Chain A
């Protein structure tokens, strides 16, 4: 977008800015909800978990709003080329963000259960994994905001470290679970929480792939070839 001059129809520019800003805002909301859910777990703060669950409604509303905005732009202005890709990408990213917020809700609900039980120190092991997934999400949203497919590619390249981190953390919890009788349910919840964090990382990769499509018009999903400028 930044490399182009404005449209003759200034309302078209306004509408494109509106959908972009709404999507970036929704991204910030999804990050906040995830952060509240994990902090609720780590800091044993039920109120933060409740906030993450309650704020998911905002994300749902944002998704619907972005879809409506996108459809309005498609019917009113009939965008083409990079404009078309921007609108389609924003609508798809909104859907990924809504699902990320759903993962945050799942994490928050399990966290409320975990923090009801006596404290277990192993909970802190989730934090390292969270940082990996959260950093991927932040970079994916930044890449979308800046139209930066190189940054998006760096998110996609985090897939292996994400899987490795998930495997390592889950294995620790699963192993402990086998020998635990008192906290076995908490450890089971932590295994699930890790699974949802991994899903957040996967969805961040999906967002990054959309950014590459928007920026280069190349669909790289499902292992398709990268555009020459990113190889």
Chain B
């Protein structure tokens, strides 16, 4: 789609609406530009938006628009790409510049967990998957681990389905269960933010519905940012939606506003399937 879509209209791009919603922000992205090739070209350009605490925020846009890149900036997953760098701007999570020299990526990822498109449980038991992060943190007491595993599995709406087979391999679970197990694993270390990169794209409709239901419930305790290609999913589960195109934030507003009456024509053309 990127190859055939028209270039963004500069006037529209400059009029992104409501990038700093009221209320406490968990994530503040300020004039962020990002490059994968040592600054030669910017994959993200001058992104400014605040993600409110304990809400679900969706990033939407055509493939290659930068939404997953931005998501990976939020827990410094892009550090793994040697030639990548932030060329301008800043990301603050809980008022802390996450790229400051004194912030370790490992510590950051305890606060900012991530769930991937393809569920990736470890080839271990269900119990060990959930307990993994806590053990890495040095927690060894069985009672604490058991409590955390049960709480996380309950939180991920998986407990009733697996409570009698916690020692079974996680790989024996269905796809939807494996994805919810990965969410439970992320929740176990009690992050503040959970990032989700197309978490339902490999799931059938029933498993998708269960994960969506879970995301809706998780907003009570976590700030969630989700990348999705499904307009319906974004409209069902998110409070706010950001539309990206060619590395720029085109529009950011409440989900209702974006899907019923977007301010910018490009957003409307994209969500209504008119890009081409």
A interface residues, Cβ below 8 angstroms from B: 3-9, 12, 77-85, 217
Min Cβ gap B234→A in Å is 10
Min Cβ gap A5→B in Å is 5
With A81-B259, A81-B261, A82-B268 already in contact, the answer to whether A8 and B274 are too (CB < 8 A) is yes
Mind listing 15 A-B residue pairs with CB under 8 Å?
A4-B265, A4-B274, A7-B273, A78-B232, A80-B235, A80-B259, A80-B260, A80-B271, A80-B272, A81-B259, A81-B261, A81-B268, A81-B271, A81-B272, A217-B260
Q: Which residues of A contact B231 (CB under 8 A)?
A: 78, 80
- The reply to whether A79 and B272 contact each other, CB–CB distance below 8 Å, is yes
B interface residues, Cβ below 8 angstroms from A: 231-232, 235, 259-262, 265, 268-269, 271-276
Q: Which residues of A contact B273 (CB under 8 A)?
A: 7-9, 12, 77
A-B contact count (CB 8 A): 45
With A80-B231, A81-B268 already in contact, the answer to whether A7 and B260 are too (CB < 8 A) is no
Interchain CA distance A33-B94 in the complex, whole Å: 67
Min Cβ gap A88→B in Å is 10
Q: Which residue of A lies closest to B6 (CB)?
A: A5
Q: Which residue of A lies closest to B230 (CB)?
A: A78
Interchain CA distance A85-B259 in the complex, whole Å: 11
Q: Which residues of A contact B269 (CB under 8 A)?
A: 4-5
The 7 closest A-B pairs by CB, nearest first: A217-B261, A8-B276, A80-B271, A7-B273, A81-B268, A83-B272, A80-B259
Min Cβ gap B202→A in Å is 21
Min Cβ gap A4→B in Å is 6
Q: Which residues of A contact B272 (CB under 8 A)?
A: 4, 7, 79-83
Q: Which residues of B contact A3 (CB under 8 A)?
A: 265
Q: Which residues of B contact A81 (CB under 8 A)?
A: 259-262, 268, 271-272
Q: Which residue of B lies closest to A12 (CB)?
A: B273
Min Cβ gap B210→A in Å is 21
Interchain CA distance A107-B265 in the complex, whole Å: 46
Please name 5 further chain A to chain B contacts, defined as beta carbons within 8 Å, in addition to the given A77-B273, A81-B262, sorted by A numbering: A4-B274, A5-B269, A78-B231, A81-B268, A81-B271
Q: Which residues of A contact B265 (CB under 8 A)?
A: 3-4
Q: Which residues of B contact A4 (CB under 8 A)?
A: 265, 268-269, 272, 274
Q: Which residues of B contact A217 (CB under 8 A)?
A: 260-261
- The reply to whether B275 and A8 contact each other, CB–CB distance below 8 Å, is yes
Q: Which residues of A contact B268 (CB under 8 A)?
A: 4, 81-82
Q: Which residues of A contact B274 (CB under 8 A)?
A: 4-8
Min Cβ gap A70→B in Å is 16
Min Cβ gap A131→B in Å is 36
Q: Which residues of B contact A7 (CB under 8 A)?
A: 272-274, 276
Interchain CA distance A77-B273 in the complex, whole Å: 9
Interchain CA distance A9-B259 in the complex, whole Å: 19
Q: Which residue of A lies closest to B276 (CB)?
A: A8
Interchain CA distance A85-B235 in the complex, whole Å: 16
Interchain CA distance A126-B262 in the complex, whole Å: 46
Min Cβ gap B145→A in Å is 44
Interchain CA distance A12-B269 in the complex, whole Å: 13
Q: Which residues of A contact B260 (CB under 8 A)?
A: 80-81, 84-85, 217
Interchain CA distance A7-B276 in the complex, whole Å: 8
Interchain CA distance A54-B92 in the complex, whole Å: 70
Q: Which residue of A lies closest to B257 (CB)?
A: A217
Q: Which residues of B contact A12 (CB under 8 A)?
A: 273
Q: Which residues of B contact A79 (CB under 8 A)?
A: 272
Interchain CA distance A6-B273 in the complex, whole Å: 9
Q: Which residues of B contact A6 (CB under 8 A)?
A: 274, 276
Q: Which residues of A contact B261 (CB under 8 A)?
A: 81, 217
Q: Which residues of B contact A9 (CB under 8 A)?
A: 273
Q: Which residue of A lies closest to B259 (CB)?
A: A80
Q: Which residues of B contact A83 (CB under 8 A)?
A: 272
Min Cβ gap A94→B in Å is 21
Min Cβ gap B276→A in Å is 5
Q: Which residue of B lies closest to A3 (CB)?
A: B265
Interchain CA distance A83-B272 in the complex, whole Å: 7
Min Cβ gap A230→B in Å is 15
